[in-house]
Chains A and B, each alone.
Chain A
Amino acid sequence: AQSVTQPDIHITVSEGASLELRCNYSYGATPYLFWYVQSPGQGLQLLLKYFSGDTLVQGIKGFEAEFKRSQSSFNLRKPSVHWSDAAEYFCAAAPYNQGGKLIFGQGTELSVKP
């Protein structure tokens, strides 16, 4: 079955430290891949997406993600975390050419220590 897995439910990092949030997908073929962020009481905001081409994708707010086909992974990274990055992060996948059928991971809640 198609699925997206985020192994870490909750991560705490110190402000200024680097961050990596993990995401693995299980699909027959490489899907489109996304990272969204959700602040408390808010909707989801798209951080970045991967469709094809360069496997290192740059997004908003200083985030990047790297697609690794061999590991079926699409991990999100940020070199230096800011307190305002505290939020919930969702990885999502959509099968190629099945526009709209996004499947989300369970989310990773990020806390930032001062």
Chain B
Amino acid sequence: DAGVIQSPRHEVTEMGQEVTLRCKPISGHDYLFWYRQTMMRGLELLIYFNNNVPIDDSGMPEDRFSAKMPNASFSTLKIQPSEPRDSAVYFCAAGTSGNTDTQYFGPGTRLTVL
């Protein structure tokens, strides 16, 4: 089992550019979560999906953020346009219906917006 895969691992972009972060969850895990980690705010849940359907997006900070899960093996988190305050580490995590509270995290994408 390869675990949760995220790409890219590091992203540096300029303010105003579109950024797309990608996640491949663990096969058979039907829950997918996106988190953001910053020094100021710690770890925050942004959005999560069950069976590819968004269940709770109340943590998405602004309309500039959007997330999709077109199929069970792929999800994206998009920021358009990006701003310096979006600089953070973004984690994707996977869980299962029988055990949703145990989440397995990917290595994260470190985003820097200049």
Which residues on A are within 8 Å of B, measured CB to CB?
32, 34, 36, 41-46, 49, 51, 90, 94, 99-107
Contact = CB atoms under 8 A, between A and B. Distances in A.
Interface stretch (B12-20, B64-72, B78-86, B102-110): B102-110
Contacts of A51: 101
Q: Interface residues of B toward A: which range?
A: 20 to 34
Interface in B3-61: 4, 31, 33, 42-43, 45, 48, 50, 55-56
B102 A107 contact: no
Contacts of A34: 101-102
Interface of B: 4, 31, 33, 42-43, 45, 48, 50, 55-56, 91, 93, 95, 97, 100-108
- The 6 A-B pairs at the shortest CB distance, nearest first, are namely A99-B100, A43-B105, A104-B43, A44-B105, A94-B101, A100-B48
A43 B42 contact: no
A51 B107 CA distance: 26
